[in-house]
Amino acid sequence: MATHSKSTQLRRVIGYFHGTIFLFSIIIGAGIFITPKGVLKYSSLNVGVSLSIWAACAVVSMLAALSHAELGTTFPRSGAQYYFLKRSLGPFVAFFYLWINLFSTPAGIAARSLMLAGYITQPFYPGCFVPEMPKKCLALAILWCLGILNARGVKEVTWFQTVSTAVKMTVLGFVSVTGIVLLVRGRRENLARFEKAFDADVPDASQIAEAFLQGLFAYSGWGVLVRIAGELKSPSENIPKCVVTALTLVALIYLLVNVSYLAVLTPKEIMSSDAVAVTWMDRVIPSLQWAISLGVSSAIVSSLNCTVFSTSRLWCMASQEGQLPLILSTLNIHSCPVAAVIQMLIFASILIIPSDLILLINYVGFTDWIQLGLMMMGLLKLRFQEPNLSRPYKARLPFVFGTMAMSLFLVLTPIIKAPQMYHIYVILFILSGLLFYLPFVHFNLGSTYFNKITCFLQLLLNVSPTDDTDEYISTGGNVQKNPPATATKKE
């Protein structure tokens, strides 16, 4: 072991443009191609209610994202959500946030990898189901290729995100423009669908809550910039600007795409379709179905890559704070927490083996809004607890309280109106984290054994501990930190 003069830390190389691209990448995934069916279903096939919920989801997401942005601007370091929860509500709550992410994120990655592999392999098996073995092998190959890309550093990831985002935006732009043209030049019954938009049955409160959850799934991922705040240039300025720009454009695209779907397909036809975008293209230009497959594939792969990138930073921060093994906070020569990326891909690869992952995702999916409610509580607590803490961007209190109210509505309404067994399963899953928190975090058992493993893996992966473990302090629009002590590096 020797001392290197060169600093090993996450680098601030992501500006406004690429920050906006990251938001586009993770928000516009497979959701807009599949969730319109779910929103329409829980809207009781009421076209007006369905479009209103899409617009309301955009407003709710914007308010939540702007409230959430205060976390990343006050503590501009990677994994800011985790660090914020630990500082405001204590290590116990922070660990449960981490515990849920340790399993829900790899499960979501595995499910989307299988979905992507299915889209790619389906043309080779026309008229029949794709065999599970080649689909799973391709999903594994995609996962580990993304792992290699992430290990190459931030610049390679941002360029990949830019290209894949351009592809899916082109496809969605084509769907939007074509639908509007068909609507303007269309038949009378197509226009009547919008003229009598609110004539169908009106859904009850529990159905509206379910419809919101479906729509908000398509907007999910807006917190990614807070997770990677340690690699953003001028985070106090760029996080709010990127959020407003990206979510405004996404909301506009989503509304136009939904109008385009309804201009071509009836609500019942949308309900009977497994892939709305494919059915839409089959009705409009059947020879261009490959374009929809390309759009869906690029949407899924860019969202996958962004998830791997941002979650590895969260695990890196938790490792620095002592709630995950130290090896996960080490960086390679490209400033990537490669050990965290590898662990995530191992978990996701194991979860690819079973075929039904959608059920697992349903169990843990609604916990996102539980976590967001906790963050808003922590935000209010920290304002009273540390009123003099520098906050370059401060969320308005109506936004914060509105986000908390929406969180309570989305979590409690389905439980009260239509309780399901999976609600109990989620609670049991969260409480099972105690079995790990008490011995390994609270009492720090087995630390000597873990140190030996850390030394071996550090040599194997050629990684070094980071220099940026000191707390970041935000002052005005800039980022400062205490000068780090000289770290011990691997030769």
How far is residue 226's CA from residue 110's CA, in Å, rounded to a whole number?
23
Asked whether the predicted pLDDT for residue 32 surpasses 70, the reply is: yes
- Percent of the chain residues past pLDDT 90, beyond the cut: 21
Each residue's pLDDT tens digit, 425-472: 777 877 788 888 888 777 777 666 777 888 888 888 888 887 654 444
What DSSP character marks residue 445?
A: T
Asked whether the predicted pLDDT for residue 17 surpasses 80, the reply is: yes
Each residue's pLDDT tens digit, 96-131: 888 888 888 888 788 888 878 877 887 777 667 778
For 435-476, list the strands marked E by DSSP: 472-475
More confident residue, 256 or 287: 256
Asked whether the predicted pLDDT for residue 363 surpasses 60, the reply is: no
Q: What is the model's pLDDT at position 447?
A: 63
Q: What is the mean pLDDT of the chain?
A: 81
Across residues 405-410, what is the average pLDDT? 86
Query: What dihedral angle (degrees, nearest 10) is formed by the CA atoms of 243, 298, 183, 187?
Result: -150
CA count, 13 A, side-chain hemisphere, 382: 24
pLDDT level of residue 366 (50, 70, 90 thresholds): low
What DSSP character marks residue 489?
A: B
Asked whether the predicted pLDDT for residue 6 surpasses 70, the reply is: no
Domains and CATH numbers, the chain: 16-379+396-462 (1.20.1740.10)
Q: Which of 430, 32, 475 is nearest to 219 (CA)?
A: 32
How far is residue 338's CA from residue 344's CA, in Å, rounded to a whole number?
10
pLDDT level of residue 62 (50, 70, 90 thresholds): very high
More confident residue, 199 or 360: 199
Q: What is the model's pLDDT at position 469?
A: 44
Evaluated on CA atoms 331, 332, 335, 341, the torsion sign reads negative
CB burial of 181-197 (b: ≥16 within 10 Å; e: otherwise) equals ebbeeeeeebeebeeeb
Residue 108 · residue 368 · CB < 8 Å: no
Among the ranges given (42-46, 302-306, 342-346), the one the predictor scored with the smallest mean pLDDT: 42-46
Helix locations, 152-266, DSSP H:
154-184, 188-195, 205-219, 224-227, 235-264
How far is residue 277's CA from residue 308's CA, in Å, rounded to a whole number?
26
Across residues 421-426, what is the average pLDDT? 72
- Percent of the chain residues past pLDDT 70, beyond the cut: 85
pLDDT level of residue 251 (50, 70, 90 thresholds): very high
Q: What is the model's pLDDT at position 127?
A: 67
H-helix or E-strand spanning residue 480: strand 478-481
Q: What is the model's pLDDT at position 150?
A: 93
Among the ranges given (139-143, 175-179, 366-370, 387-391), the one the predictor scored with the smallest mean pLDDT: 366-370
Across residues 177-195, what is the average pLDDT? 73
Asked whether the predicted pLDDT for residue 371 surpasses 60, the reply is: yes
The C-alpha R_g of the chain, in whole angstroms, comes to 23
Asked whether the predicted pLDDT for residue 481 surpasses 50, the reply is: no
Each residue's pLDDT tens digit, 188-247: 666 666 666 666 677 777 788 878 888 888 888 888 999 899 889 899 899 999 999 999
How far is residue 83's CA from residue 94's CA, in Å, rounded to a whole number?
8
Q: Which of 226, 255, 258 is nearest to 371 (CA)?
A: 226
Q: Residues with Cβ < 8 Å from 84, sequence gap 6 or more?
A: 71, 74, 75, 375, 378, 379, 382
Across residues 19-37, what is the average pLDDT? 85
The reported pTM is 0.81
How far is residue 425's CA from residue 103's CA, in Å, rounded to a whole number?
14
Asked whether the predicted pLDDT for residue 475 surpasses 90, the reply is: no
pLDDT level of residue 478 (50, 70, 90 thresholds): very low
How far is residue 326's CA from residue 455's CA, in Å, rounded to a whole number?
10
| Report for 131-145, 346-360, 366-380, 411-425: range of highest mean pLDDT | 131-145
pLDDT level of residue 344 (50, 70, 90 thresholds): very high
How far is residue 487's CA from residue 435's CA, in Å, rounded to a whole number?
33
How many Å is the maximal CA-CA distance in the chain?
77
How far is residue 334's CA from residue 328's CA, in Å, rounded to a whole number?
15
Across residues 65-72, what is the average pLDDT? 90
Number of other CB atoms surrounding residue 292 within 10 Å: 23
Structure tokens at 75: 């503590």
Asked whether the predicted pLDDT for residue 187 surpasses 70, the reply is: no
pLDDT level of residue 147 (50, 70, 90 thresholds): very high
